Structure formats: structure tokens, C-alpha cells
Amino acid sequence: MKFALIILSFLCITIGFAQEGNVVRADVVNGDTIPVITLNNFQFTTQRTWKSGTHYKRYKRLEKKVVKVYPFAHLAAKKLEMYAIELESVESEKEKKKFYKRIEQEIKDEYEGELKKLTVSEGRILIKLLDRETGNTSYTLVTELRGKFSAFFWQGLARVFGHNLKSEYDPKGDDCEIEFIVQRIESGLLSLK
């Protein structure tokens, strides 16, 4: 009788534990049931250290500038995707020119005032981020939208102010600090004000 009570208690405990817990999706592979669990995204970060207070202040100034211009580059990439889809339906060269003029006017109307307020260094960062977000240098984008002559003109003007529309984004080299800041923005660790 004691033995039967022990077995009955054991079964009740086992059934109780078996019914608690989470229900997860499972796949059967070669007769084995393998639970499939989706984890939330996470990012490993290390504690940043700076060589001096000067380096820290330089980083904070760069962070402020990237936070200011990143939304423009991100928005430009989204708009270019949207315009690319629209452009596929345009057939003649005359219609394409009208389309490009309309795009240019929309951008001027919406962003010209804000973009004119950018400093030289913020403009340089924006050029880099446009390449990061769109996969094309600013020179390539101007060439596609306005033609080679216009791109040549704007490249010359940019050079006068210390910019290079042909500069490419280098996340593991010269632009590693910018990339670090952008990753913090995209992961939600740094907010856009």
C-alpha cells in the first residue's frame, strides 16, 4: 500500500510539472523533435573608453552631428526606393526628365531650408551616410538624377567647401566612429532628438 501511494504521488507530481511550462513550436527532423524558440534581438556592447577628455569631447560632437543628419540620409534611402518603383512605369526620356524635375522640386520644397542650415562637417557626414543608406555615392545619385554635367558642377562646388561627392562610406576604417553611432541609433541605445 505504501508503495502504491509513493507511485501515485510520483505520477501526480510528474503530471503537474508536465502541464506547467511554455508551449513552443517544434520541428521533427529524422524522427527527433527539436523545439524552435525565437529569441528577442540583443546587442553586445563593451564599455567605451577614451584616451583623453579631448577624445571624448570630439566623439560627443561627432555624435551630435550624426544624430542631426542621420534622419535625412535614412529618409533619402526610403524616398529613393519609392521613386525607383515609380520610375519603372515611366517609359520615355521626356517623361523621365519631368519626373526628375518633380522629384527635385519636392525635395527642395520639403528639405532645402533645413539642409542649408547644415555646417560643413555635418554636410560631410551626410554625404557619407547617404552612401551608407543608399549604396550609392552622392556623385552617382546626382549623375542619375541630373546628368553628368550637373554632377561635375556640384562636385566642383563641393570641393570648394572641402567635400567630395565621390567619397565612399568605410565602416571599418575612416568612418568607424560614425558607424558605431549609427548602430547605437538603430538599436535604440541613442535617440534621435
Q: Is residue 48 situated within a structural domain?
A: no
* DSSP code per residue over 116-141: HT--HHHHHHHHHHHHHHHSS-HHHH
Q: Is residue 41 situated within a structural domain?
A: no
Quick one: pLDDT at residue 138?
76
**Cα–Cα dist 93/146, whole Å:** 13
Quick one: pLDDT at residue 43?
65
Residue numbers of the domain that contains 100: 53-186
The DSSP code for 193 is -
* DSSP code per residue over 39-70: PPP---------SSHHHHHHHHHHHHHHHHHH
Q: Is residue 62 situated within a structural domain?
A: yes
**Spans of the chain below 70 pLDDT:** 1-22, 42-46, 146, 193
Q: Is residue 83 situated within a structural domain?
A: yes
Number of domains observed in the structure of the chain: 1
Quick one: pLDDT at residue 3?
57
Task: Take residue 82 and report the three cell numbers written for it.
Answer: 519609392
The total of other beta-carbon atoms located within 10 Å of residue 129's CB is 24
Quick one: pLDDT at residue 6?
61
**Diameter of the chain by CA atoms?**
99
For the entire predicted model, the pTM comes to 0.67
Q: Is residue 8 situated within a structural domain?
A: no
Please say whether the beta carbons of 162 and 126 come within 8 A. no
Q: Is residue 125 situated within a structural domain?
A: yes
H/E element holding 150?
helix 148-160
Q: Is residue 119 situated within a structural domain?
A: yes
Q: Is residue 30 situated within a structural domain?
A: no
